[in-house]
């Protein structure tokens, strides 16, 4: 079996504690903030636009074509 000395147990405990604290603090906002920042940069650079269509925000290309188009059925694919 593995034998740990006192220093190794303290290091392991500290690493686990800070891993849990970091996960707890960042679990809800990390991905959301990253996506929001990426979209803001893309809008500012003119790569995409955000338009309100039917009360919802939609991503469109600068020439007002939808970024994603709805596929009505499986035979509607180009």
Which two three-digit tokens encode residue 3? 């034998």
Q: Write out the H or E segment, with its range, that includes residue 12.
A: helix 6-26
pLDDT of amino acid 73: 62
Confidence of residue 41 (pLDDT cuts 50, 70, 90): very high
Secondary structure (3-state) at 53: strand
Q: Report if pTM > 0.85.
A: no
Is beta strand 49-53 parallel, antiparallel or unpaired with respect to 56-60? antiparallel
Contact 62, 47 (CB under 8 A): yes
Domain spans in the chain, listed from the N-terminal domain onward:
6-76
Interatomic CA distance for residues 38 and 32, integer angstroms: 10
């Amino acid at each position: 079996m593995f034998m740990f000395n006192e220093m190794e147990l303290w290091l392991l405990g500290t690493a686990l504690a800070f891993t849990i604290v970091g996960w707890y603090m960042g679990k809800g906002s990390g991905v959301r903030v990253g996506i929001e920042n990426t979209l803001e940069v893309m809008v500012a650079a003119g790569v995409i636009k955000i338009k309100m269509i039917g009360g919802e925000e939609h991503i469109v290309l600068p020439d007002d074509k939808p970024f994603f188009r709805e596929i009505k059925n499986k035979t509607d694919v180009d």
